[in-house]
Amino acid sequence: MRFFLTTAIDYVNSRPHLGTAYEKVTADVIARYSRLCGVETYFMMGNDEHSQNVYRRAVERGLDPLAYCDQMEQEFRAVWKQLDCSFDDFIRTTEPRHKIAVQKLAQVSFDAGDIYEGVYEGWYCVSCEAFKQEKDLVGGKCPLHPTLTPEWIREKNFFFRLSKYRDALLQHFALNPAFLQPDVRRNEILRLLEAGLEDISMSRAGQSWGIPLPFAPDNVVYVWFDALINYIAAAGYGTDEGKLEKWWPAGLHVVGKDITRFHTVVWPAMLMSAGLPLPKQVFGHGWVNYGGQRMSKSLGTSVDPADVAGRFGADPLRLYLTKEISYGSDGDFTFERYEERYNVDLANNLGNLVSRLVAMAEKYRGLRVSPPGSGGRLAQVVDECAARYRSSMDVYALHEGAAAAFRVVDAANEFIAETAPWALARDPANAERLSGVLFDVTEAVRVAAVLLLPIMPSSCAEILRRIGEPTPVADLRIERDARWRAGGARELVKGPSLWPRSEEKTASGGGADRRPALKEPKVEENATQATGGAAAAAEDTRLTIDDFMKVELRVAKVLDAEAVPKSKKLVKLRIDVGNEQRTIVAGIAEAYPPDQLVGRTIVIVANLKPAKLMGIESNGMVLAASPEGGLPTLLAVDESIAPGTRVR
Ligand SMILES: [Zn+2]
């Protein structure tokens, strides 16, 4: 069996936020579960680079677009690595293999008569990079970008004959009821299909950043039409027919609920036009809100997943995203709730169970546990939970899978309370019974760790090591290893606390503290000699006072200001820093006209390495409060403070 799994590819005009991470993490859980089931799996992620927003962001930074995309690729890969995403392939839409696939599909579709020239006139949301019909707008605005005004565009475009495929799409939905999940998404799309489809623009005129149409090279392929093709490009379309044969059609596209229309209407129609089979399934996941608000960079409600993972490590975040949000529905994240779940599920429950087990095994049996007990009721509960886990995971009810795995943990804790090993240990007549109880708890922990392995890969590998599981993690198989097994002996291994309890109070004098908590791994009785286990305490990323003092903040006075040509945001300042004058380029032009800047007393970072912005060398950085999606406000000090004064 084979399984080709993809996520949406991301625009690189900003770093991934927690919502982006949610999609990658949950898809990674599916990929790892698939491998655990012994299915040959090809898991693909990537970046969507031919976006005008990406192009603009690069120009703002004075960078060649491709060089900018190269930088962003490193940023994205670093976050995905931190979150332990196990992708097999990472595609970028500027790669030759993608360009070949896009041009091939466009040509095949053109030759089939499905692409024709016309004039597009209508609304366009620059942030979505999507054409909008009047009925899509709310109060004249894109509902996803209520702070922006859509543009009215009239240009000569090539159109894709989407309307031609309406009946075939309806038939496909009828014959494949599971094509789009969850059902609520399916119903939305069916209503849309029943209302009829219009042809869509598939090219843009007058742009250089994109893939030229093979039959009209003055036009580039519209970024959405371009992006969807990444899935077959990665599978070898146009470059490796053997690979395509092996991996296409995809088993599952995991995408956000806002782009299911592109993936279940436009994309299948493009594939039909090109004579290619359709993906087997599309899953439209919900959104992670932040404190009840939609997470969005432009709305200023975005959370950096690297910050969250920096707090307790990647696995607790992966667990939260999988277990606390019904897959397919919207969910919510707050740091308070996250910390609470960490303490409940990990510090107090699973982590404590592992510590207690190893401590008792050491105290009563010198870490070697044998012979097995009867299993009894615990064995039965474990096997039932494992079955429920599998039936949930098989239909992408990831939250129910995670909950089933945690019922094994609960059952093991209850079993310890009922059997009271410490009481058994008092009477030598109970020696065999005590060994059996310890073995059975070990067995329950082993099954729980196998079930949770796709969700918390590195912690579960560590748990399996500590309870003496000899099979390498990559060789574990759900069918064989996620069921009760009695026999032999278990050699347990000591280690530091997996998830020390977080005691940090979040509110410290007003604003909540978003920094990683300073944690000392707590020594648990009998269980801990720090041996440097993989899942030890998260790193403290705060700065020392010495680190901070390396940043030289100084008061400066603006002597001169002029707009930077061809840039909306940048302004060139000549400033007085006390004993010298220098030039700084600052991104504040939208908030301050040049003449309003002259004479102002501002604060700068004085010891920054020079950087070139739009060809101008900038020496330092101006400090401003910069709300996401809003205009910057300069940090100011009283005019009486002399230029050059240190700020600290
Ligand atoms: Zn929009």
Residues 6+ apart with CB under 8 A from 388: 400, 404, 407
pLDDT above 90 covers a percentage of the chain that reads 74
Q: How close is the Cα of 311 to the center of ligand 1, in Å?
A: 33
For residue 138, how far is its CA from the centre of ligand 1 (angstroms)? 11
Least confident of 271-285, 459-473, 599-613: 599-613
Taking the centre of ligand 1 as the mean of its atom positions, its distance from the CA of residue 124, in whole angstroms, is: 8
pLDDT of residue 340: 96
Going from the Cα of 52 to the center of ligand 1, the distance in angstroms, rounded, reads 13
Model confidence over 221-231: pLDDT tens digits? 999 999 999 99
Which has more confidence, 523 or 431? 431
Contact between residue 475 and residue 413 where contact means Cβ atoms under 8 Å apart = no
* Residues 395 and 252 sit within 8 Å (Cβ to Cβ): no
What's the average model confidence in pLDDT over 311-325?
Answer: 97
Q: Please, are residues 99 and 80 in contact by the beta-carbon 8 Å criterion?
A: no
CA dihedral 55, 57, 59, 60 (to 10 degrees): 160
CB-based contacts of 74: which residues, under 8 Å, 6+ apart? none
pLDDT higher than 90, residue 300:
no
Distance 142 CA to ligand 1 centre (A): 5
Helix (H, G, I), strand (E, B) or coil at 582: strand
Ligand 1 centroid – CA 148 distance (Å): 8
Q: Does residue 517 carry a pLDDT above 90?
A: no
How many angstroms does the Cα of residue 229 sit away from the middle of ligand 1? 22
**What 8-state DSSP symbol labels residue 371?**
S
* Helix 314-323 and helix 398-419, axial crossing angle in degrees, nearest 10: 110
| Lowest mean pLDDT across 150-164, 335-349, 586-600 | 586-600
User: What is 134-175 written as a DSSP string?
Assistant: GGG-BTTB-TT-TTSPPEEEEEEEEEE-GGGGHHHHHHHHHH
Cα(136) to centroid(ligand 1), Å: 10
Cα-based distances in Å from 68 to 12, 146, 346 = 9, 28, 40
CA 376 to ligand 1 center in whole angstroms = 58
* Residue whose token pair is 């012994």: 38
Distance from the CA of 224 to the center of ligand 1, in angstroms?
Answer: 13
What is the pLDDT at residue 595?
A: 85
| Ion ligand 1 residues within 5 Å by Cβ | 125, 127-128, 142, 144-145
Of 455, 457, 477, 482, nearest to 400 by C-alpha is 455
Q: What's the gap in Å between 149 CA and the centre of ligand 1?
A: 9
For the chain, the distance separating the N- and C-terminal CA atoms, rounded to the nearest angstrom, is: 62
DSSP strands (E only) in 52-162:
89-92, 115-125, 130-132, 151-160
Instruction: With both helix axes pointing from N to C terminus, report the angle between 351-365 and 431-452 in degrees, rounded to the nearest 10.
Output: 150
Expressed in angstroms and rounded, the spacing between residue 126 Cα and the centre of ligand 1 is 7
pLDDT at 565: 85
Residue 504 pLDDT grade (very low, low, confident, very high; cuts 50, 70, 90): low
Specify the pLDDT at position 81. 98
Question: 631: CA distance to ligand 1 center in Å?
Answer: 19
Higher pLDDT, 424 or 374: 424
Q: How far is the CA of 103 from the centre of ligand 1 (A)?
A: 27
| Tens of pLDDT, residues 151-179 | 999 999 999 999 999 999 999 999 999 99
The reported pLDDT for the residue numbered 535 is: 34
At 531, the pLDDT band (50, 70, 90 cuts) reads: very low
What's the CA-to-centroid distance between 346 and ligand 1, angstroms?
A: 39
**382: pLDDT strictly greater than 80:** yes
Place of tokens 């020390």: 500
Q: Are 180 and 280 contacting, i.e. CB atoms less than 8 angstroms apart? A: no
The H-or-E segment that residue 184 falls in is helix 183-194
The residue type found at 370 is S
Please give the residue that has the higher pLDDT: either 69 or 552.
69
Separation of 133 CA from ligand 1 center, angstroms? 12
Report the DSSP pairing between strands 331-333 and 288-290: parallel
How many A from CA of 140 to the centre of ligand 1? Answer: 11
User: Nearest CA to 253 among 235, 226, 272, 239?
Assistant: 235
Instruction: Please give the average per-residue pLDDT across 196-209, as a whole number.
Output: 93
- Give residue 454 CA to ligand 1 midpoint distance, Å: 34
* pLDDT for residue 628: 66
Ligand 1 centre distance from Cα of residue 125 (Å): 5
541 vs 19, more confident: 19
Give the confidence band of 524 by pLDDT, cuts at 50, 70, 90: very low
Cα of 13 from ligand 1 centre, angstroms: 15
Listing DSSP states for 478-493 in one string gives HHHHSS----S-EE--
Distance 129 CA to ligand 1 centre (A): 7
What pLDDT, on a 0 to 100 scale, did the predictor assign at position 615? 81
d(C-alpha 74, C-alpha 87), whole Å = 15
DSSP label of 473? G
Whole-number Å distance between alpha carbons of 622 and 387: 59
Element (H, E) at 382: helix 376-394
Position 491 pLDDT exceeds 80: yes
d(CA 131, ligand 1 centre) in Å: 9
297 CA to centre of ligand 1 in angstroms? 13
Ligand 1 centroid, distance to 309 Cα (angstroms): 29
Taking only the tens place, the pLDDT of each residue in 439-478 is 999 999 999 999 999 999 999 999 999 999 999 999 999 9
Closest CA to 575 of 564, 563, 559, 589: 559
| Beta carbons of 240 and 165 less than 8 angstroms apart | no
* Rounded-to-integer distance, Cα 493 and Cα 568, Å: 61
Question: What whole-number distance in Å separates Cα of residue 256 and Cα of residue 23?
Answer: 7
What span, in angstroms and rounded, lies between the C-alpha atoms of 560 and 567? Answer: 18
Q: Which two tokens stand for residue 493?
A: 């291994």
Nearest to 204 by CA among 232, 231, 224: 224
